[in-house]
Homo-oligomer: A and B are copies of this chain.
Amino acid sequence: MTTPAFAEAIAAVAAAVEAELEALLPHAEGPQAKLHEAMRYAVLGGGKRLRPFLVAAAAELFGVRGAAPTRVGAAIELIHGYSLVHDDLPAMDDAALRRGRPSCHRAFGEATAILAGDALQPLAFEVLARSDYGADSEQRSALIAGLGVAAGSLGMCGGQLLDLMAEKQDWSLADISAMQRLKTGALIRYACEAGTILGRAPADAAAALGAYAEDLGLAFQIQDDLLDRGGEGVATGKDAGRDDQVGKATFVGVLGEARARQMLVELRAAAVGRLDIFAGRATVLSQLFDFVISRKS
């Protein structure tokens, strides 16, 4: 179960990351004000900041807090935000709504939305390269290389291509898992990895956290698929039932709801088991797992 203390902790990280993003994003002024406005629209005021929380929780296991995990969390949100803008484009998922508001291209036009995504990406790498947040230059290189792989064709972009191919195809559970490992899993795993880079984690602890993040990423997507089906109290801010309408292959489509919920239970047990190595010091990560699989949006 998630506790009031956990709810406070996740709200604190979200607030710190929001303030950091506010400071890192260009103001909506100058000749390209419209582009800056679209970038801010895509990133600010939205989402639960789960990935930054994962960075912070992983880094804290090794005694690292403050500016460094906040910066890395913000960089991940810049990438995550750009990916949502491009995923929503007419040529991709053609989504009208995102977080209960018009999608970026509906609000700003298609060309500006493409460019806003294009401009968020280099900003993410630039803010990791700066020397002003307490990571040394070797750590910064490792953080950038890791984010580059996670966001690229062997990570998130590769997963999005496979997801587009999944429409109207008859995929197996293994196919969907492989796609989701890239599409949503890569950035979630990177968030954990970034925490271990900041914390200079020993190899066995980093491996345990990597395995935990792998399970968390799959559970996140299964819960997403369950929420897409709609139901009591669900408020995703997206077009509900869209995956079904376009015949997209999803975990719930292949497994059915009951088996999908059972898989969440199994993934939770496995993920919590990965944390044994931390001898009770990582309860916040098991609470995060519960939070992810019980969320309503």
Contacts and interface: CB of A to CB of B under 8 A. Distances in A.
A63 interface: no
A125 B153 contact: no
Contacts of A182: 32
A82 B157 CA distance: 14
Total identical chains: 2
Contact of A131 (B39, B129, B141): B141
A34 B160 CA distance: 12
A35 interface: yes
A119 interface: yes
A173 to B, nearest CB: 15
A145 B250 CA distance: 39
Contact size class for A? 35 or more
Contact of A32 (B119, B121, B153): B153
Given A140-B137, A161-B32, A129 B145 contact: yes
A115 to B, nearest CB: 5
A40 to B, nearest CB: 11
Given A32-B161, A162-B31, A178-B31, A122 B138 contact: no
A89 interface: yes
Query: Which has the most chain B C-beta neighbours within 10 Å: A110, A122, A138?
Result: A122
A50 to B, nearest CB: 21
A123 B149 CA distance: 7
B153 A26 contact: yes
Contacts of A236: none
B89 A152 contact: no
Contacts of A112: 161
Nearest to A175: B31
A161 B34 contact: yes
A160 B112 CA distance: 10
Contacts of A83: 118
A123 to B, nearest CB: 5
Contacts of A26: 153-154
Contacts of A230: none
A111 B125 CA distance: 24
A158 interface: yes
B148 A125 contact: yes
Contact of A114 (B35, B89, B154): B89
Contacts of A117: 118
Given A35-B157, A118-B118, A141-B141, 11 more contacts: A26-B154, A32-B162, A91-B114, A111-B161, A114-B114, A118-B157, A122-B125, A125-B125, A125-B148, A126-B144, A131-B141
- What 3 pairs across the A-B complex have the smallest Cβ distances? A126-B148, A137-B137, A119-B157
24 contacts: A31-B162, A32-B153, A32-B154, A32-B161, A35-B153, A35-B161, A82-B118, A86-B118, A91-B110, A91-B114, A92-B111, A111-B161, A111-B164, A115-B161, A119-B157, A122-B125, A122-B149, A122-B157, A123-B153, A126-B147, A129-B144, A131-B141, A140-B141, A144-B144
